[in-house]
Structure formats: structure tokens, C-alpha cells
């Protein structure tokens, strides 16, 4: 550790604003990334999050989290995403009641994708009335709906 | 349709370089997006792709596709991604032999995420030797490995 007081007697005690060539760089020590957390490079970083039904294995949706959304998810035990269109935290189920209770959080090998295993409360995860957002399959004849609608979004969300 | 020849006699026939206020905008008619395909805004757009084991429902990995990778996947019936680190098409399994045969392609409600239901050939999807890249769970004590290693990546890929 460099003894800053040694410079005081010289009358040229530098505040951090003006780097002293005699001192090691005074940049704040970076906080080491938490090896048990997803790699959010900064507060703006968005990582993709897969929500999977913990009971059935069905993939329900893909959304995004920033660090704040991830920490809110950990704190509350319910999925909190970051809405790219609204540019704000998105507490899943706030409008519909279709919250997702988090049963497990898994990270991939690069720690840049999050897999949430959830209990999907209410009828479905998809705002179009389906349990999963992946309700259409690509076929040579076009997209084919391969799931049943489980609720009426006009009732849950009001007419669009 | 505006008759361009009508302007020729005036001696001020505009090429497209110089917009004629008398003519409707001459921008090329955009190709309507294919309603049965993912929404790739342009050739650079990358969309997230979830690969899920078609038999077990296990989420194997998340990767990205550009339009070319998507079309190669359709054409070959095997998963072709776009590697962001190598900035090139990534024919999954080219090195390891662990190809993914595509059983179904599903799109989400916004058509900006792709779910591939695949037959995972070989031991695993993850280059670290696990069947799924999501082999670690977030716990209060740190990341916990919750899967068995199914192959030795040093043998499959050579020593790192």
C-alpha cells in the first residue's frame, strides 16, 4: 500500500483529480465479478432469460434482464424482467396476475444466459392467451398454431 | 402507376438520383416480411435461439441466428447458428460431431425468438462436456453443478 502521507510534506499532495506519476494508478479497484452470478458487464447489459415450466419442461417465453431485474428476481422470488419496449423493469404478472414463482435459476457455461425454472401462476405466460409464447410452428404451409388458447387476453388485459 | 415517359418531353426527365416533386417517392418497394418467418430486420440482425431436446424437454443451450443461419438450418435440417465470437456461421457439431437434428421450429408471439426442438446427436450440446449448457444452479452458497459430465471435452475438442 502506498503511503499517501509521505507526499504531504512536499507541498504537492495530489488529490485524485490530478494523477501523480510517482503513485500507482489511483483508479478505484474494480469490484471482482461475482463468480456465482450472471455476467452483467454494466448496468445497461441485458441478458436473455428463458422461462421454463418447472413441472412440465415447457419453454414458456424468452425475455431479458438487466442486473437490477436479476437482483429483484432473487429478492422477491418472482420473475422480474426488463422491458426493452418500455425501457423499465417489468414485474411479470403485475397486470395479468400471471406471475412466475422462481423454483430454480441456472446459468449457462458462459454465464450470459439465464434459465429460470418457474411455477407459472394463472393460465399462461403469453399475452396472446396461450400458455407458452411458442404456440406457432414453422411449416412448409406457413405458421401453424399448435397450442390451445387458455384464456381470453381481452378479458385479462382489456381490449387492445 | 405514374407514367415516367410523360416527363420526357419536358426536357427535365429526372433520374432517380434527383427526386422529382411531381412524382411519388421512388424508393424501392420493400419486400414484405414473410409472415411465416422470424423477423430479421436485416442481414445483420441476430435473434436468440433456444435449443430444446425434443424427447426430454431439457433446454440444451441458447445461441443466435442471423437470416443466413436460419435459412441454412431450414435447408439442411440441422442447427446452424451464428457465432458472435467468430463472426461466422457455426454449423453446430462440425468439430464435435454433436449435431442437432431439427424436429420442429417454433416462433414466439413477436417472432423474434426461435425455439428449436432437436434431436441432440452425440453425448451433449455443451462444449464443457455436459448434455446441457445449463449445468449449474445459483444457490446461496454459489454455483452448484447439477448435472453429470457425459463426455471429456479434452478428447472431443483436444486440450484447450
Chain B residues with at least one Cβ partner in A under 8 Å: 35-37, 48, 50, 52, 56-59, 61-62, 74, 104-110, 113, 115, 126-128, 130, 133-139, 142-143, 146
Res A5 pLDDT > 80? no
Does residue B67 sit in helix, strand or coil? helix
Res B13 pLDDT > 60? no
**Chain A, chain B: beta-carbon pairs less than 8 Å apart:** 94
Q: What is the pLDDT of residue B98?
A: 94
CATH number, span A47-157: 3.10.20.810
Q: What is the pLDDT of residue B41?
A: 94
Residues 6+ apart with CB under 8 A from B54: B103, B104, B117, B118, B119
Average pLDDT over residues B112-126: 96
Write down the domain spans for chain B: 47-157
Place of cell 422470424: B38
The listed range with the strongest mean pLDDT (A24-28, A93-97, B48-52) is: B48-52
Closest residue, chain A, to B128 (C-alpha): A109
Q: Do A108 and B36 touch (CB under 8 A)?
A: no
Q: Do A62 and B146 touch (CB under 8 A)?
A: no
Task: Pick out the residues of the known binding site of A for Mg(2+).
Answer: 108, 110, 112
By Cβ distance, the residue of B62, B113, B115 closest to A108 is B62
Residue B127 vs residues A142, B25, B62, B117: alpha-carbon distances, Å: 34, 52, 13, 19
pLDDT band at A155 (very low <50, low <70, confident <90, very high): confident
Q: How far apart are CA B124 and CA A49, in angstroms?
A: 21
Residue A16 vs residues A23, A24, A97, B86: alpha-carbon distances, Å: 10, 11, 51, 40
Contact B131, B60 (CB under 8 A): yes
Residue B155: its H or E element: helix B153-157
Q: What is the pLDDT of residue A28?
A: 60
Q: Is 0.90 exceeded by the ipTM?
A: no
* Among A98-102, A154-158, B121-125, the least confident range: A154-158
Q: How far apart are CA A153 and CA B119, in angstroms?
A: 34
| pLDDT one-digit tens code per residue, B47-93 | 999 999 999 999 999 999 999 999 999 999 999 999 999 999 999 99
Of A157, A81, A154, A139, nearest in space to A114 by CA: A81
Amino acid at each position: 500500500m502506498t503511503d499517501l502521507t509521505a507526499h504531504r510534506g512536499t507541498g504537492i499532495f495530489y488529490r485524485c483529480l490530478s494523477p501523480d506519476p510517482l503513485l500507482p494508478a489511483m483508479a478505484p479497484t474494480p469490484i471482482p465479478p461475482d463468480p456465482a452470478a450472471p455476467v452483467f458487464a454494466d448496468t445497461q447489459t441485458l441478458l436473455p432469460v428463458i422461462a421454463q415450466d418447472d413441472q412440465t419442461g415447457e419453454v414458456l417465453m424468452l425475455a431479458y434482464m438487466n442486473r437490477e431485474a436479476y437482483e429483484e428476481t432473487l429478492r422477491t422470488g418472482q420473475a422480474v424482467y426488463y422491458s426493452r419496449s418500455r425501457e423499465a423493469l417489468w414485474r411479470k404478472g403485475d397486470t395479468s396476475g400471471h406471475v412466475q414463482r422462481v423454483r430454480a435459476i441456472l446459468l449457462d457455461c458462459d454465464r450470459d444466459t439465464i434459465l429460470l425454472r418457474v411455477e407459472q401462476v394463472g393460465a399462461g405466460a403469453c399475452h396472446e392467451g396461450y400458455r407458452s409464447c411458442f404456440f406457432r410452428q414453422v411449416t412448409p404451409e406457413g405458421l401453424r398454431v399448435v397450442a390451445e388458447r387458455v384464456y381470453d387476453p381481452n378479458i385479462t388485459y382489456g381490449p387492445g
